[in-house]
Chains A and B, each alone.
Chain A
Amino acid sequence: MAEHVTCQEVVELVTDYLEHALQADEAALFEQHINFCDGCEWYLDQMRTTVAAVGRIDEEDVPRETRDKLLAAFRDWKRG
């Protein structure tokens, strides 16, 4: 069993950690590493910030043609 993980390994484990998908012993090694390594603590924070930023995406452009078709369909549905 490994006694420690490297930064290079940590950056590949981040998502599994946030998903609570690491085994208990791997999670402990991950947290031990985060505890002493500022670089990886900041990287974990960057990933959390990334997820939060993506979560703020609320609306995107719909192609004009699609929008018009759907609006027409909505009006038909209203009438019917």
Chain B
Amino acid sequence: MIAYKFLRRDGSSVFTGFRWPLPDGAPGAWVDAPVDPCRSGIHACLPAGLPYWIGRSLYEVELAGDIVEEPTKLVASRARLLRAVTAWNDGLRDEYTRMCADRAHSLALGASPPLGEWDAVIEPSVAEGPALLGFVAARIAEERHGIDAYNAERARQTAWLVERLGLQDAAAS
């Protein structure tokens, strides 16, 4: 099963610090971790989950063994990194951040009356990066139109990422 995984710049896991064998022309070595809810297992996501896990480096990953599907992520007992998704670079991160900030502004100001307090939060949050701005935009959508709007905004973010990262082929799965 093909999925995606964000890692820190140095190729280590965001939450565990585990150092992944990185792909270098060929896929990285297989890694095994028994699936035990909340305790162990390898985390990855489908395109729909990308906005929730935004990180520095993006990899395409192959999952095998036991695979558990959760709302925004997959947990697998076996995985290897296939390739770095190099399209996800600092430039694209900044573009995504700006896209989310612009969406957040238009959602906040388009409300009637405008969600001024929310609008004031947007620009100061930009420096903190794309993950935060993605959340802010979706949160403002939720403030206006409820949880369905939050999910719709997240889906919008996924569509943007899939297109710009060239993940169309995988998007169907």
- A contacts B directly (C-beta below 8 A): yes
B: interface residue count bin = 20 to 34
How many whole Å from B136's CB to the nearest CB in chain A?
9
- Choose from B38, B72, B150 the contact partner of A32 (Cβ within 8 Å): B72
Q: How many residues of A contact B (CB 8 A)?
A: 17
How many whole Å from B66's CB to the nearest CB in chain A?
14
Bound Cα distance A37, B135 (Å):
10
Which residues of B are found within 8 Å of A38, using beta-carbon distances?
Answer: 128, 132
A35→B38 contact, CB < 8 A = no
B39→A35 contact, CB < 8 A = no
* A19-49 with Cβ < 8 A to chain B: 20-25, 27-28, 31-32, 34-38
Main secondary structure of the interface of B (DSSP, over half): loop
Which residues of A are found within 8 Å of B118, using beta-carbon distances?
Answer: none
- Choose from B37, B55, B142 the contact partner of A35 (Cβ within 8 Å): B55
B147→A28 contact, CB < 8 A = no
Q: Is A12 an interface residue (CB 8 A)?
A: no
Q: Is A4 an interface residue (CB 8 A)?
A: yes
A36→B135 contact, CB < 8 A = yes
A28→B55 contact, CB < 8 A = no
Which residues of A are found within 8 Å of B139, using beta-carbon distances?
Answer: 4
**What residues make up the interface of A, taking CB atoms closer than 8 Å to B?**
3-4, 20-25, 27-28, 31-32, 34-38
Could you write out 7 A-B pairs with CB less than 8 Å apart? A3-B151, A20-B39, A25-B70, A28-B72, A35-B53, A35-B131, A36-B134
